[in-house]
A and B are shown apart, each in its own frame.
Chain A
């Protein structure tokens, strides 16, 4: 982490025209791109670019839970590992779980445990791996959003996708989706995750202070944003699984006996950046 204690306080985060340092308005998201099925060995996977965040998510299972004593005869475990790569932040992050990543893993696995049909798979575990390759504030929201696409990609039965977004306060103004500078020098950050179909809140955290009214406003901003992100998630899954007969006949895999392992999912064109771009 940068040593932020010595940096001059009172840095202007909102310019005189009401825009933020990166040119966004208070209710604007950073550009988001989601891709499903990017890893071949995992049962399900997804990759997300959310502003400066780059996050990979992989899902395995339901599979036999190990160690055995953790198995629950009535339901599946949902286990999550959130991990930041040493090179994901500007100062090298010491590898391995720390207080912060253990906490994030816990809250994310609990968020997913409430949407996955855990009763259908007694004695098993669904394992979610979230690897942050590049961090720029809001990695838990990006990771959770990607992991939920990966879960659907793995074919795990669930009530709905989970969508996540953060809001916060900078220079006294409630804003959506803070970036790194805004998070470091702002007043508060409040990530949340909802189940879009029902509006259930499955993750809610806050760092800093918000008044009741500010909190209400932040919540409103996040909920509006999750609707847009939800569409991006669904779009990623649709793209992954839309294959026509013409595609089959057009691009034949290498002739036998070589294994048919060549064709990767087609890279999406530019337009796959979310509706809100800079």
Chain B
């Protein structure tokens, strides 16, 4: 593409991304010994494995993912949770952190509650089960939830969490990032708004190079002077 260094060339479905000897990774398929892109995204080659990092797409649950869900229905022994994916995700009462009597689910989680939970299992026809038996699983009180494209979640987190900790340090917000593209953030109004703005910026411009610096610059511009980050 153009010579500009700050541009990651994108690949389009059907475009050849690798010849023989390379293995097809996520977002690609192989045909006749060659590898082609299956999704619109950025080509990535790593130890003989070619993959395409998609720029868009739905969240497909995977075992072990940390997700932020909203309770949309309740049964006598389970809750139905919307995790922003094409598949309904039940959370069984035995997978909750509480001792729930049969028929007493409403005492613990109500419709509309937002929870941080994990994907317990996904079978071959994509039946999903959730669990809250992890340390960080909880009901989220206060704060706000914003939604971004699930494919941009790795960019929001950054390498070893660099991006999300940058935002947390600069704004003093508490942030949870779900793999499903839902992000919960809590802080005072001003800093939460700045953090939300920064996350939206990442979501929109995820394919740009040098994004961390752009985000840092933007936050520092928005942040009122003389109010340093809150000590955690």
Contacts and interface: CB of A to CB of B under 8 A. Distances in A.
Interface of A: 43-44, 61-64, 73-74, 117, 120-124, 152-161, 195-197, 234, 237-238, 241-249, 252-253, 255-257, 259-260
Given A44-B56, A260-B197, A260-B201, 17 more contacts: A61-B86, A120-B60, A123-B126, A152-B13, A153-B56, A154-B56, A156-B39, A157-B39, A158-B13, A159-B29, A234-B15, A237-B10, A242-B2, A244-B4, A252-B221, A257-B189, A257-B196
What DSSP secondary structure best describes chain A's contact surface? loop
Interface string B38-76: 111100000000000011111010000000000000000
Given A124-B86, A241-B207, A255-B222, A159 B38 contact: yes
A159 B208 contact: no
A197 B16 CA distance: 10
B195 to A, nearest CB: 9
A64 B88 contact: yes
A143 to B, nearest CB: 18
A256 to B, nearest CB: 4
Contacts of B207: 241, 243
A64 B222 contact: no
Interface string B20-36: 00000001010000001
Contacts of A161: 12-14
B12 to A, nearest CB: 5
21 contacts: A43-B58, A44-B56, A62-B58, A73-B125, A122-B126, A123-B86, A123-B125, A153-B56, A155-B56, A158-B38, A159-B29, A238-B1, A242-B1, A243-B208, A244-B7, A244-B208, A245-B214, A248-B201, A248-B208, A248-B211, A256-B196
Contacts of A242: 1-2, 7, 10
B6 interface: yes
Range, interface on chain B:
35 or more
A123 B86 CA distance: 9
Interface of B: 1-2, 4, 6-7, 10, 12-15, 27, 29, 36, 38-41, 54-58, 60, 86-88, 124-126, 151, 189-190, 193-194, 196-197, 200-201, 204-205, 207-211, 214, 217-218, 221-222
Contacts of A241: 10, 40, 55, 207
